[in-house]
Structure 1
Amino acid sequence: MSVAQAIFPIFALILLGYGLRRWFRLSDDFWPQLDRLIYYVFFPALLFHSLSGFQIDLGAATPMLEVAILYMLAGMALGYVAKYLFHAPPKVFAASFQSSFRFNSYVGLAVAGAIHGQDGLAAIGLLMGFLVPMANVAAVWALARHGEGHWLKEILFNPLIMATAGGIFFSLAGLHLPDLLQRPIALLSQASLPMGLIAVGAGLKLQSLNRYRRTLWYGVLVKLLVLPAIAWGLASVFGLTGVYFHIAVLMAALPVSTVSYVLAMRMGGDGSISAAQVMVTTLLAMVTLPMWLLLMGF
């Protein structure tokens, strides 16, 4: 499959979501409710279905996990440096800090499935099981001074983490759900990626691009170019090859998660700069993601 064949359908659905929200008269609460449905039902179904049916080789996957954790820590460090480089107000820093390491899982799963099928979905799902809690803890830590939130509960009972843990357990234990349950889960998982990508497009916001521009573009540069380069170097040093190499670099190259905007708004950060970073990284990823895939030989 060529890069264009893998990438075009993904960003076509993102652009479709952007157009649907702006040109169709849907009720104001439709999109938030769709986000909840994807987050609590469709997406967990995909993760559980992919991981539970995948023969996980922890010995082979451990170097990939180590690489991912190291570049996630590097992203956090680079994000924190922005506090001293640009001296943005605390609420702006707390919100923009996330852009250096948070990743859009919907886009990641779609690309991983396009380039490596079920193996790609399982590998990136395994990474998400470790990186989602790290990202949540770091983001909540930065935002904690600006509001109150049940952050520990949100992390422990995160549906994505729970689905990942369940899928890994079933895979390692050699367990299988009866077809009566497995088939509905498989059908739900098929709906998750198109609905998730449409929701990403619907969440793009054309605002605040002129506020704190240096902070904004620093985060964009780190997320789309610097972090994938770090991941590539680490993956080479750790001897990763094949699907594990590709997924490790892909994970680092993803645009910023829309969850960063939701969390910033919930915990009192500057939501406008988070929205701008989500929008800019998603749009520029239409160029940078194919670039990284081409460099990896796709």
Structure 2
Amino acid sequence: MGSEPLSGPGDPKEPGRGVILPDVNYVQLLFPDFSLIAIGYLLCRYTALNRPVWQSVESLVYFFLFPVLLFQSILRTPLDLRAASGLIGAGLCLVLGGVLLAALLPRLPLLRRYIDPRAHAASSQVAFRFNSFIGLALAERLAGAPGVQLIAVLIGVCVPLCNIAAVWPMARHAGRGFLGELARNPLIIATASGLTANLLGFSIPDWLAPSLSRIGAASIALGLMVAGAGLQFTSLAQGKVLTVSVLTIRHLVTPLMAWGLARAFGLGTSETLILLAFSALPTASSAYVLAARMGYDGAFVAGLVTLSTVLGVASLWLALGLLG
């Protein structure tokens, strides 16, 4: 799965050192996610499995399946924070940069009049959240087990920050208590507890691991199908400026930021490669579930998730093919 010419995470930091990338078919990599979104859309629109059915599935995904998957994903790989301090710093700066750019959109003079504040509160998360499951698969293709370890560190430290930044504008706009929303949010509880357990040295018992893996697989499939079931393409036409803005940040600006941060932090070859791949991932499929559960326009966010999955092919090519 990995490519032997890649240097390991502990190799010398030689910015000019050549890297031979494995032959990665980005369309093939992203097709499973996109196909599941499409299946959910078709089932909801053209079969007896209509919207009321999917609302129950949405609750199951949000309150049980996704939290279990996030906890397992963070806990299953040991996090060596000291060895990857430069990568962690670059990753946190990357996410914070995306959060800041997304927050500034309704304050920009040229965009302010075209952006609905409520729609922005729900969809700004698309600009900085990421699909960690695609990231894990891609890291293994690019750098084998060392690549998985590196991106697991990024996921562990960035997922809690992304979830907090996603909840904040929606809680504030809806007039809800921010701390109360955080305390009740199952995704934040799962990621925070997973990170804490990981740092304390806990691990998943062997007898429990297969069950958790199957729950994780179910959460990915059902989460993407739920996003497809809630999709309404007409909703995207009502927020064209917002759509273009958040997706530009996610798929163009963020990879360029990662390229600069890798040099600013003096990252080694493998760390740079993983950071660039991390920066170009499609947005998290759970963005739709979070927006819908907090009472916002889930159909609009589901449309953004779909477009982001398609645009992930272009941004991965940009990050790894050109910047890499």
Same fold (TM over 0.5): yes
Name the counterpart of 2:103: 80
| Pairwise CA distance, 1:135 | 3.0
SS, match of residue 104 in structure 2: helix
Per the alignment, residue 237 of structure 2 pairs with: 210
Matched, 1:186 2:209: no
Q: CA deviation at 1:72?
A: 1.7
| Structure 2: 5+ residue stretches without partners | 2-22
1:7 has 2:34 as partner: no
Please give the TM-score of this superposition, normalised by the length of structure 2. Answer: 0.73
Moved over 6 A (4+): none
Judged with a 3 Å threshold, the aligned counterparts in structure 2 of structure 1 residues 159 and 112 are, in CA distance, closer, same or farther, namely farther
Label 1:8 to 1:246 Cα distance change in 2 as closer, same or farther (>3 A): farther
Aligned residue for 2:173? 146
Matched, 1:31 2:54: yes
- CA change 1:142–1:189 in 2 (3 A) is closer
Deviation at 1:231, TM superposition (A): 1.4
Q: Whose helix fraction is larger, Structure 1's or Structure 2's? A: 1
Q: Is 2:34–2:306's contact at 8 Å kept on the other side of the alignment?
A: no
Contact 1:14 1:198 in 2 (8 A): yes
- Residues 67/80 of structure 1: CA separation in 2 closer, same or farther (3 Å cut): same
Taking a change above 3 Å as real, the CA distance of residues 201 and 296 of structure 1, as seen in their structure-2 partners, is farther
Partner-residue secondary structure (3-state), 1:29:
helix
> Which of 109, 121, 125 is equivalent to 1:98?
125
- TM-score in terms of structure 1 length: 0.78
Per mean C-alpha deviation after superposition, the further-off stretch among 82-91 and 46-55 is: 46-55
Structural mapping, 1:148-297, within 5 Å? 148-241=175-268, 244-264=271-291, 273-295=300-322
Does the C-alpha gap of structure 1 residues 48 and 267 become closer, same or farther in structure 2, counting only changes over 3 Å? closer
Identity of paired residues, percent? Answer: 39
- For the 8 Å contact 2:122–2:291, the answer to whether it is kept is yes
The answer on 1:127 being equivalent to 2:154 is yes
Measured after TM superposition, the shift of residue 230 of structure 1 is: 0.4
Q: CA deviation at 1:42?
A: 3.4
Determine helix, strand or coil for the equivalent of 2:314: helix
Q: Which residue in 1 is equivalent to 2:45?
A: 22
User: Partner amino acid for 1:288?
Assistant: S
SS in structure 2 at match of 1:60: coil
Shift of 1:73: 1.9
Task: Find the aligned partners of 2:62 and 2:297 in 1 and give their Cα distance.
Answer: 23
Q: C-alpha separation between the residues in 2 aligned to 1:283 and 1:138?
A: 24
Give the letter aligned to residue 228 of structure 1. P
1:63 lines up with 2:53 in the alignment: no
Instruction: Select between 78-87 and 167-176 the one with higher mean Cα deviation.
Output: 167-176
Determine helix, strand or coil for the equivalent of 2:266: coil
**What is the root-mean-square deviation of aligned Cα atoms in Å?**
3.5
